[in-house]
Amino acid sequence: MTTLLAPAAPRLGDAERLRLAARVRLLSWVSLAYMTAEGAIAIVAGVMAGSVALVGFGLDSAIEGLASAIIVWRFTGHRVVSEAAETRAQKLVAIQFFVLAPYVGFESVQALVTGERPDASALGIALSALSLVVMPYLGVAKERLADRLGSAATKGEGRQNMLCAYLAGALLIGLVGNMALGAWWLDPAVGLLIAGVAVKEGLEAWRGEGCCVGDPVPAAATADGCADGCCER
């Protein structure tokens, strides 16, 4: 009995790869601009309010901005088709997560032990609410492009954007809780959450884990760009 195997999906052509790479670069430039502003505002607001979670959020923004710069580098010039550049970018993006975790974790534990109470921050609340809207769009768009291109580095940057969205939500809860209820401990608790999630995401980015990464397929393969449906959202 003869078993018929489905034909493998054709690989991306050069023109399609260049088109997708240009979209990744554009999104990364947008992220870099937003993260620069977000990081500066969050750090200033955090220092003014004595909020370790806000400062940690600002440092996370700076690290994500660096990751965006790495992705711009990765998809510029001859590096668009370079596997060596992809591997290097993937590792560099992962390292950004590991840089953030120790500092935020230490500051959060210290704040919990000493009982340091942050001031209310209306600026921090407004910033976290805005990031909760902007970051999911950027994260989902990049992860979909990563699946198309088979780029673990781009996948990692998209995950950083989604991490930023989750942390913005947690930060918003902490800041509102502190302002409305005096629940000061929410601030360092959110800081610990930031540190823990950063380690998890860093490990996944380092290993290149992610659906369809490493196996780029054309959009025609399925409605959402994956031959085996694993990237359905």
The Cα angle at residue 71 between residues 69 and 76, in degrees rounded to 5: 100
Q: How much is the pLDDT for 37? A: 92
Q: Quote the tokens at residue 126.
A: 């407004």
Give the three-state DSSP class for 74. helix
H-only helix segments in the chain: 14-49, 52-74, 83-114, 122-149, 152-181, 186-207
Please report, as a single letter, which amino acid is at residue 185.
W
Q: How much is the pLDDT for 220? A: 45
Q: Which of 32-46, 82-96, 119-133, 158-172 has the highest mean pLDDT?
A: 32-46
What is the residue extent of each domain of the chain? 14-208
d(CA 148, CA 146): 5
Q: How much is the pLDDT for 160? A: 78
pLDDT at 165 over 50: yes
Gyration radius of the chain over CA positions: 20
Percentage of residues of the chain with pLDDT beyond 90? 4
Q: φ and ψ at 172, to 5 degrees? A: -60, -45
- Greater confidence, 96 or 70? 70
Q: How much is the pLDDT for 75? A: 80
**Mean pLDDT calculated for residue range 200-210:** 71
Q: Which of 24-33, 59-68, 217-226 has the highest mean pLDDT?
A: 24-33
48-79 per-residue burial string, b: 16 or more CB within 10 A, e: under 16: ebbbbbbbbbbbbbbbbbbbbbbbbbbbeeeb
Confidence of residue 130 (pLDDT cuts 50, 70, 90): very high
d(CA 175, CA 54): 9
Confidence of residue 116 (pLDDT cuts 50, 70, 90): low
DSSP 8-state code for residue 51: -
Going by C-beta distance under 8 Å and a sequence separation of 6 or more, which residues neighbour residue 78?
Answer: none
pLDDT at 224 over 50: no
pLDDT at 95 over 60: yes
pLDDT at 140 over 70: yes
- Greater confidence, 93 or 49? 49
Instruction: Give CATH for domain 14-208.
Output: 1.20.1510
Confidence of residue 225 (pLDDT cuts 50, 70, 90): very low
